[in-house]
Amino acid sequence: MHAQVETLEGLQRRLTLQLDLAEVEAEVDQRLKRLTRTVRLPGFRPGKAPLKLVEQRYGGEIRSEVMGEALQRSFSDAVRAHDLKVAGYPQFDRPAGAEASVFTATFEVLPEIKLGDVSQIKVERPVVEVTEADVERTLQVLRKQRVHYHAVEREAREGDRVHVDYTGTIEGHPFPGGEAKDYPVLIGEGRTLKAFEQQLVGLCPGEVKRFEVTFPEDYFAKELAGKTAQFEVTLKSVHEPHLPEVDEAFARSLGIHDGSVAKLREEIAANLKREAKRRIQAKLKEQVMQGLLAVTPFEVPKSLIALEAQTLLERAVEDLKARGLKESDIHLKPELFEAQARRRVALSLLLGELVRSHGLKAEPDQVRAMVEEFAQSYEDPAEVVAWYYQDRNRLREVEHLVLEDNVVAWVLGQAQVTDQPMTLEALMGNV
């Protein structure tokens, strides 16, 4: 077997391979003879069909199979001989006018990556302290999530839940969705049109009110957008909200078995600190990864981008199907994911080179610590830890995260890092 390699544009290479057709035909002949011993052909008992008939029936298929295997083997041998790092899959062709034994394999190679000046990377590191005010704010959110309503005989106010009967018309004609019985409205929540909700404020149970509402120009129902409807509404009932007290019963409802409010507050603080740590690490990782890409430009193999874009497309399709869409209604193309795929491939190659060149790895104690940290959010942490260690694939995912964190730590040790004090709310994106 002979092979010549030539450099095409960018990362593209072409190998010219020459096969030994005598070896190929010898292998084809052996396989046909083996097949003859067991094959069933009409008019012959198993194993009694003439070799010539077997060759007529299966020779083309077997020859194609053997030729493909010989090409793959020759390609692999040539890649090793020329010390090529192949990206993606090769495309085999037979050149026009060439001998029957000559083929070409066109493919891309992995780029040579030389890490840029990491000291030029600028990173803003959030510095956050979880305060009692943060714990109290979270407690109030938990209370609102468990709100219950009591019927009252008074006028409706902001925050009340009311039930109404209503009919609506546009220019005297009913419209889709313009009529309902015992329809619940939480005044001020915004699930219905704000203009509609505000008309209910001040009404008492049994009262009837007529008013107009103009639908917004960007209303989701295009046939109603910008139009004015006349409504007649009967208020059926008013229920005012009641938040649960922060007491033993409330603590138990949130998993604190002894009902200790102090312990509940401690757990909330611990959860907030874990979430703050996670958010800070995510912000640091994003800045570090963007910085590495900025200081280390290199060409990314198009074949790997295409493979990654296809993978992202398939994931998106599966996600949409899980949300109830029919596959026939999903019209996505790989080009939609090309930018994301390019970044993911570039980062994968860059991080791989950085890890190799600087000997970074995920230490077992680091992996264990991350698994235990994940487990703290569950009722039985030991069971969660065991779950991770029972499956090598699950553990490998954690190892990958630890390795990424080690890359971030390595870069932060050399980059220009500025601490940025901020509140927990700002970190969470709530302000």
Q: What is the pLDDT of residues 227-243, one digit of tens each?
A: 999 999 999 999 999 99
306 and 233, same structural domain?
no
Q: Is residue 131 in a domain?
A: no
Type of residue numbered 109: V
Q: Model confidence over 13-22: pLDDT tens digits?
A: 999 998 888 9
- The two tokens of residue 335 are 């080009």
HEC string of 192-255? CCHHHHHHHCCCCCCCEEEEEEECCCCCCCCCCCCCEEEEEEEEEEEEEEECCCCCHHHHHHCC
0.85 surpassed by pTM: no
155 and 36, same structural domain?
no
List the CATH number of the domain containing 208.
3.10.50.40
Final residue before a domain boundary, out of 91, 109, 127: 109
Q: Is residue 141 in a domain?
A: no
Q: Model confidence over 104-115: pLDDT tens digits?
A: 999 999 999 999
293 and 192, same structural domain?
no
423 and 283, same structural domain?
yes
The answer, yes or no, to whether residue 55 has pLDDT greater than 90, is no
The answer, yes or no, to whether residue 178 has pLDDT greater than 70, is yes
- The residue to which tokens 């995260």 are assigned: 401
192 and 75, same structural domain?
no
Final residue before a domain boundary, out of 83, 109, 135: 109
92 and 25, same structural domain?
yes
Report the domain count for the chain: 3
Residues with Cβ within 8 Å of 345's Cβ and at least 6 positions away in sequence, in order, are: 300, 301, 304, 305, 308
Q: Tell me how far apart the alpha carbons of residues 431 and 419 are, in angstroms, rounded to a whole number.
A: 19
- Of 48-62, 307-321, 411-425, the poorest mean pLDDT is in 48-62
Amino acid 377: pLDDT: 80
Q: Is residue 318 in a domain?
A: yes
274 and 188, same structural domain?
no
The answer, yes or no, to whether residue 95 has pLDDT greater than 90, is no
213 and 320, same structural domain?
no
Residue 200: domain span: 148-242
- The two tokens of residue 25 are 């035909």
Q: Is residue 120 in a domain?
A: no
Q: Give CA separation, 237 vs 158, 160, 198, 305, in Å.
A: 14, 10, 16, 59
Torsion sign (Cα): 105, 108, 110, 115: positive
Torsion sign (Cα): 338, 342, 345, 351: negative
Final residue before a domain boundary, out of 242, 258, 279: 242
2: pLDDT confidence band, cut at 50, 70 and 90?
low
289 and 168, same structural domain?
no
Q: Is residue 248 in a domain?
A: no
223, 227, 233, 235 alpha-carbon torsion, rounded to 10°: 80
422 and 274, same structural domain?
yes
312 and 207, same structural domain?
no
Q: Is residue 232 in a domain?
A: yes
